[in-house]
Amino acid sequence: MTQAELTDVSRYYDLLDLWTRLNRGFRAFSGLEAGAIHRWLDDPVSGEFSPATIHNVMLASGIDDRLPVVALDAGCGYGGTMFALHAVLGGRWHGLTISRRQCAVGRRAARRNGVADAVTFDCSSFDAPQPDGHSLIYGIESLVHSTDPARTIANLARALQPGGTFVIVDDMPVDALPARFARDLASFKALWRCPVMPSAAQWSAHLAAAGCEVIETRDLTDLMRPRCETDVSRAIEEVHRRRRWRDRLGLRRVGEAEIGGLLLERLGRERAVRYVMIRARRRD
């Protein structure tokens, strides 16, 4: 990313953090309380609808076959995934976020929970060079912000030890996107700062080019609970009404985040965008 693009995404998440603290309704689905800004999913085992479901899905897939874990969370947010997985697997976990607010919240939580030596944070880009020797690298709803996904994957894969696991969980458009969804997808990408947004096949190709063999691709879209089109359209109209005054108060990015999320909900319901987990292993 260019410095201007990094600054824009950083301010985007910093403002959402501030709005989360001011707005109880937004907070409920922001992930702040759970420490993880992840998609709410039905747990395949318990049936619980939670932003922590993806952690159980990752654990069930076998990410812990190399212990002790030395993990890198590329786009860690508040660190909820690191805290949750460290509690189960132990090891050392390091998270990268370009949001200063998220980084500060995560560090405070690590100290409060007594794991500051094992769960660490850095306010940095996932495109910055990383030390090697990681047994696990993952990005959950974060790598989609990359302006050059092939470069991002190659950079992160270099930090993975041979045989280590690379996991990508993200929203991925279908390869043959129906023309009627092109406008919504383009708007979503602009509003959520996702300039490229590869498909599952494209992410897999980037992993292969970086020396990683894809061993599992799992579509998690059916675990979501999207609303009907009437409700989504009504919500979009309401956000547009609120933006008339919020934008004047410097809250433009809040409206962009809300509308982008609603467009993504529509695209997911129509299966134009899938929520997918790709698990790969770096070749020996």
Q: Considering just the CA atoms, what is the radius of gyration of the chain in Å?
A: 18
Considering the domain boundaries, does residue 265 fall inside one?
A: no
Tokens of 94: 């390091």
| Long-range CB contacts (within 8 A, 24+) of 248-255 | 251/15, 251/19, 253/11, 253/12, 253/15, 253/16, 254/15, 254/16, 254/19, 254/26
For residue 184, being part of any structural domain is answered with no
Query: Which structural domain range is residue 14 located in?
Result: 3-177+193-229+274-282
Whether the CB-CB separation of 160 and 137 falls below 8 Å is answered with: yes
If pLDDT is split at 50, 70 and 90, which confidence band does 23 have?
A: low
Report if residue 268 sits inside a domain.
no
Dump pLDDT digits (tens) for 226-262.
999 999 999 999 999 988 888 887 778 888 888 999 9
- Determine, yes or no, domain membership for 132: yes
Whether residue 183 lies inside any domain: the answer is no
Kindly report the pTM of this predicted structure. Answer: 0.91
Give the single-character DSSP code of 69: -
pLDDT tens figures, 95-125: 999 988 889 999 999 999 999 999 999 999 9
> Is residue 260 in a domain?
no
Query: What stretches of the chain show up as alpha helix (H) in DSSP?
Result: 3-22, 24-27, 53-61, 80-89, 100-112, 149-157, 182-191, 200-209, 229-246, 252-269
- Asked whether residue 239 is assigned to any structural domain, the reply reads no
Report the CATH number that the domain containing residue 54 is assigned in CATH.
3.40.50.150
Here the tokens at position 77 are 């947010």
For residue 258, is it within any domain?
A: no
Cα 226 to Cα 269: distance, rounded to the nearest angstrom: 6
Tally of domains within the chain: 1
